[in-house]
């Protein structure tokens, strides 16, 4: 399980009434912190493999502006450079010793994208708490895709990202989709920052259709060519 600031936790649930901690990997610091979301968000074992993917959650840039990022909050707390949030490949062959073995690559920035990278998108030169959000989780359901060589990730305003993890030490991004920036809000939430296209959650069915919802732009149904 992703256990927020405690990192990734592996439990012995042979007795479900008395779960016991089997292993733990802490990744904060150097990853996560300050204005990011969940310090450790998701810890997904890859079916039939001795590896799992652990994620730190970034945050929606719509909740921030340059002033807030530079001045921080609560008397200056969280200001300045924002720690990296990422997806991490963890070796779990020994559940008592989960070990970081690889990092996922930075999302490809499309040609013609208005900013030089996703960390500063819409922030007037300030650096935001960029990072991933939810990944597809098969959950043992027959109607959901369960491909242990592939990871689907909603990467907030970097869009939907698809990775080939067949080689756990050399991870490749193979596809992405970034939704358009919304023109207005659809519910009453303060938006001090930029209105960027932002992917939130994803589910992939057994036919390969990818269902992606967004912060302010509805749902998309995608498929790899």
pLDDT digits (tens, 9 = 90+) for 163-212: 999 999 999 999 999 999 988 887 787 888 888 999 999 999 999 999 99
What average pLDDT does range 11-17 have in this prediction? 96
pLDDT tier at 13, thresholds 50, 70, 90 = very high
pLDDT at 15 over 80: yes
Q: Is the confidence at residue 76, as pLDDT, over 80?
A: no
Hey, which residues does 23 pair with through a beta bridge?
10
* pLDDT value, residue 139: 92
Predicted confidence (pLDDT) at residue 74 exceeds the cutoff of 80: no
- Tens digit of each residue's pLDDT (9 = 90 or more) over 111-155: 999 999 999 998 888 899 999 999 999 999 999 999 999 999 999
Would you say residue 73 has pLDDT above 80?
A: no
Q: Which residue has the higher pLDDT, 70 or 91?
A: 91
């Amino acid at each position: 399980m992703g256990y927020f600031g405690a990192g990734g936790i592996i439990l012995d649930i042979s007795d479900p009434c008395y779960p016991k901690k089997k292993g733990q990997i802490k990744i904060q610091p150097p990853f996560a912190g300050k204005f990011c979301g969940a310090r450790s968000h998701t810890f997904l074992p890859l079916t039939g493999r001795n590896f799992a993917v652990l994620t730190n959650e970034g945050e929606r840039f719509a909740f921030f502006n340059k002033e807030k990022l530079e001045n921080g909050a609560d008397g200056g707390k969280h200001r300045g450079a924002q720690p990296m949030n990422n997806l991490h490949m963890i070796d779990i062959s020994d559940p008592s010793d989960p070990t970081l073995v690889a990092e996922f690559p930075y999302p490809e920035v499309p040609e013609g994208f208005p900013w030089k990278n996703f960390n500063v998108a819409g922030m007037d030169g300030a650096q935001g708490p960029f990072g991933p959000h939810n990944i597809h989780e098969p959950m043992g359901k027959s109607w959901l895709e369960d491909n242990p060589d592939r990871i689907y990730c909603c990467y907030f305003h970097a869009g939907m990202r698809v990775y080939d993890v067949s080689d756990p030490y050399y991870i490749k991004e193979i596809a992405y989709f970034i939704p358009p920036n919304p023109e207005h809000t659809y519910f009453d939430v303060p938006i001090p920052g930029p209105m960027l296209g932002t992917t939130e959650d994803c589910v992939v069915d057994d036919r390969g259709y990818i269902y992606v919802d967004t912060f302010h732009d509805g749902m998309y149904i995608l498929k790899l060519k």
